[in-house]
Amino acid sequence: MAADLFPTEIGPGVDRKTALSASLRHRILTMQIAPGSVLDEIALSEEFGLSRPPVREAMRQLAGEGFIELESNRPARVTSMSYQSLRDFFLVAPLIYVATTRLAAEVSTKPDISSLREIQNHFRQSVEGDNVDGRVFYNDQFHLRIGEIANNAYLLPSLRRLLIDHARIGKIFYRPANAQMQRNLEGACRQHEDIIDAIANHDADRAEALLRAHLDLSRKNMAMYAAPEGMQIAVGV
């Protein structure tokens, strides 16, 4: 994974607390740490060569972003997921994604488009290489970057929280690639690229239409996971 997008390794230009925060984000998004899991503060301190105070500071930051739940006199836990989480996600996701995508189409600059294309290149490589964690991570980065381009103080925090569960839902509902799943993944890649083009052309209506089709494809992928092999599925918009 590109170091500029995911600085989890300790090295020149990457401090230990930054590496800890980035690594925890990635592990949570890709379900390497399961929802509801207790985070071992001592183990993390030893792994990243940090004292307890900066580890706690990083956890408070991640709690503010929605990755971690902190309660008095209880250990830190990864934010849980439930039926209610899934229901809330599918109710709210179209509202937030559409709003941020339309705003991005209105205000994007050439450097913004370049950054989106870079992330999309990593996403495509992950799809072509059957790298599940990479696909989950770079899909998250793609939609987050759109939100950052939109730069709305009310929408961006909601998008950040939404993306945590989007990534985890995607990982939960992944089924080892069959022909239909592979076609859907390739379709998702094309949709990303079309969305970038619409944003670059400041075409908010087309960007919205593409984004809605993209969300519909995600729902179909999840329905494919839940349905027995060979069963015909119908997923509403």
The whole-number pLDDT of residue 155 equals 95
Which whole number is the average pLDDT over 28-37? 92
**pLDDT tens-digit readout, 91-126:** 899 999 999 999 999 999 999 999 999 999 999 998
Residue 41, H or E segment: helix 41-48
Residue 111, H or E segment: helix 110-128
Around Cβ 231, how many Cβ atoms within 10 Å? 9
Whole-number Å distance between alpha carbons of 200 and 194: 10
The whole-number pLDDT of residue 11 equals 54
The whole-number pLDDT of residue 228 equals 44
The whole-number pLDDT of residue 147 equals 97
pTM of the model: 0.81
pLDDT: is 44 or 174 the higher one? 44
Within the chain, all domains assigned CATH 1.10.10.10 are found at: 16-78
The whole-number pLDDT of residue 148 equals 97
Assess contact for 156 and 179: CB atoms under 8 A.
Answer: no
Q: Alpha-carbon dihedral of residues 162, 168, 170, 175, nearest 10 degrees?
A: -170
Within the chain, all domains assigned CATH 1.20.120.530 are found at: 83-226
**pLDDT tens-digit readout, 187-232:** 889 999 999 999 999 999 999 999 999 988 777 666 555 444 443 4
Whole-number Å distance between alpha carbons of 204 and 224: 30
Which whole number is the average pLDDT over 25-52? 93
pLDDT: is 220 or 130 the higher one? 130
Q: What percent of the chain has pLDDT over 70?
A: 84
**What is the CATH number assigned to the segment(s) 83-226?**
1.20.120.530
Fold for 16-78, please state it: Arc Repressor Mutant, subunit A (1.10.10)
pLDDT of 62 > 50? The answer is: yes
Long-range contact list for 15-22, CB < 8 A, 24+ apart? 16/48, 16/49, 16/50, 16/54, 17/48, 17/50, 17/54, 17/55, 17/57, 17/58, 19/48, 20/44, 20/47, 20/48, 20/50, 20/54, 20/55, 20/58, 21/58, 21/61, 21/62
pLDDT of 175 > 80? The answer is: no
Whole-number Å distance between alpha carbons of 130 and 99: 31
Most confident among 19-28, 131-140, 223-232 (mean pLDDT)? 19-28
Average pLDDT, rounded, for the chain: 85
pLDDT of 3 > 70? The answer is: no
pLDDT: is 230 or 150 the higher one? 150
- Phi, psi (degrees; rounded to nearest 5) at 68: -130, 150
